[in-house]
Chains A and B, each alone.
Chain A
Amino acid sequence: MASSPLVDRHGHDVHGGHSGRRHPAHQFDTMEQQKESSTLGMWLFLVTEIMFFGGLFVAYLVYRTMYPAAFAAASSTLNVPLGALNTAVLICSSLTMALAIRSAQVNSRKGAVLFLLLTMLLGSTFLVVKGFEYADKFREHHVPGATFNFALENAHATAVTQAADPDFQRHAQIFFSLYFIMTGIHATHMIIGLGILAVLVFYTRRGKFDSEYYNPLEMTGLYWHFVDIVWIFLFPLLYLLGAHLHG
Chain B
Amino acid sequence: MEGSEKIGRKVKIMRERAGLKQDQIATYLGVDQSNVSKCEAGERQFTVDALERLCDLFGCEMNELMSEETPTESLEFAFRSKVVKNEDLTAIADINRIALNIKQMRQYLRENKLEG
Question: Do the two chains belong together in a single complex?
Answer: no
Residues of B within 8 A of A (CB): none
Q: Interface on A for B, CB 8 Å cutoff?
A: none
